[in-house]
Amino acid sequence: MSSWGQCVMCKALGEQSANQGMIGTGLNEGIIFIMIIPYLLIGIGLVLVWKRFNKEEG
């Protein structure tokens, strides 16, 4: 099982679980999914701010 940026505890749990065929197989995908949410929120916020300050006055 490859680890992309997990803490030591997550990596150890994932490797142990993967060897037993349990939850470790989806651990990386779960961490990536949780990590994406803050970036999406920041991106949406930046788009809204950009739209607000770049309105054409007419």
Encode pLDDT of 27-58 as tens digits. 777 778 888 999 999 999 999 999 999 987 65
Helical (H) or strand (E) element with 49: helix 27-53
What whole-number distance in Å separates Cα of residue 53 and Cα of residue 41? 19
pTM of the model: 0.52
**How many C-beta atoms surround the C-beta of residue 9 within 10 A?**
8
- To 5 degrees, how large is the angle CA 16–CA 22–CA 9? 40
What whole-number distance in Å separates Cα of residue 41 and Cα of residue 39? 5
Measured in residues, the chain has a length of: 58
